[in-house]
Amino acid sequence: MKINVNRDACISCGACEAIAEDIFELDDEGISVAKVKETNDNEEMELAREASTSCPTGAIEVSED
């Protein structure tokens, strides 16, 4: 799975970091960044999917490739 944050769409709500702090963090500007950009770990993939569906602006893109 590839994980990407569309930083232009992020509104700094913090939900992704709250759900998956090992994968997402808010940077100095308060914009989310994916610390993990690619993973095959089942737990990480589940958390990334949950963050993606929870993001209010749809800024988190996950690809199942």
The encoded tokens of residue 55 equal 């993001």
Does position 11 interact with ligand SF4 (CB under 6 A)? The reply is: yes
Give, for 63, the enclosing helix (H) or strand (E). Answer: strand 60-63
Contact 24, 43 (CB under 8 A): no
Cα 25 to chain centroid, rounded: 8
Does position 20 interact with ligand SF4 (CB under 6 A)? The reply is: no
Does position 45 interact with ligand SF4 (CB under 6 A)? The reply is: no
Helix (H, G, I), strand (E, B) or coil at 17: helix
Does position 15 interact with ligand SF4 (CB under 6 A)? The reply is: yes
Q: Which of 4, 13, 36, 62 binds ligand SF4 (CB under 6 A)?
A: 13
- Where along the sequence are the contacts to ligand SF4 (CB under 6 A)? 5, 10-16, 32, 55-57, 59-60
